[in-house]
């Protein structure tokens, strides 16, 4: 992780860094001895989250990716937050909350 500087933008710094790295590699694929058509993103845990966000941004901005690999990505809280923002219920989390309450 990069050091935090006073006044530095904290969020979405990791997303911006991951996207900048992806763009850098895509723009220099030939110089790196690779093919831009074979570009992939991958990550595990929080890195899986970043890889998912980069893949979505790549789709939005027209950068084709050949592969996306997410190894136990930290996505469930994002999905839960998105559902709660839109007022949708999450049956899994509702059930889990009821089970937790019943054990108290």
Domain boundaries, the chain: 13-103
Query: CA 83 → CA 16, 48, 70, 72, distances in Å?
Result: 24, 20, 21, 20
What does the pLDDT look like over 76-103, one tens digit per residue? 655 555 444 445 555 555 555 556 566 6
pTM reported for the whole predicted model = 0.64
Which residue numbers in the chain have pLDDT < 50? Answer: 82-86
Residue-by-residue DSSP string for 26-74: HHTTTTTTS-GGG-EEEEETHHHHHHHHHHHHHHHHT---SEEEEES-S
């Amino acid at each position: 992780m990069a050091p935090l500087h006073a006044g530095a933008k904290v969020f979405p710094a990791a997303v911006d860094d991951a996207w900048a790295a992806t763009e850098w590699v895509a723009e220099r694929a030939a110089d790196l001895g690779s093919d831009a058509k074979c570009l992939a993103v991958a990550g595990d845990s929080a890195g899986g989250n970043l890889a998912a966000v980069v893949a979505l941004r790549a789709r939005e901005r027209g950068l084709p990716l050949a592969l996306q690999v997410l190894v136990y990505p930290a996505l469930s809280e994002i999905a839960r937050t998105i559902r709660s923002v839109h007022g949708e219920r999450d049956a899994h989390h509702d059930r889990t909350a009821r089970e937790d309450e019943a054990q108290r």
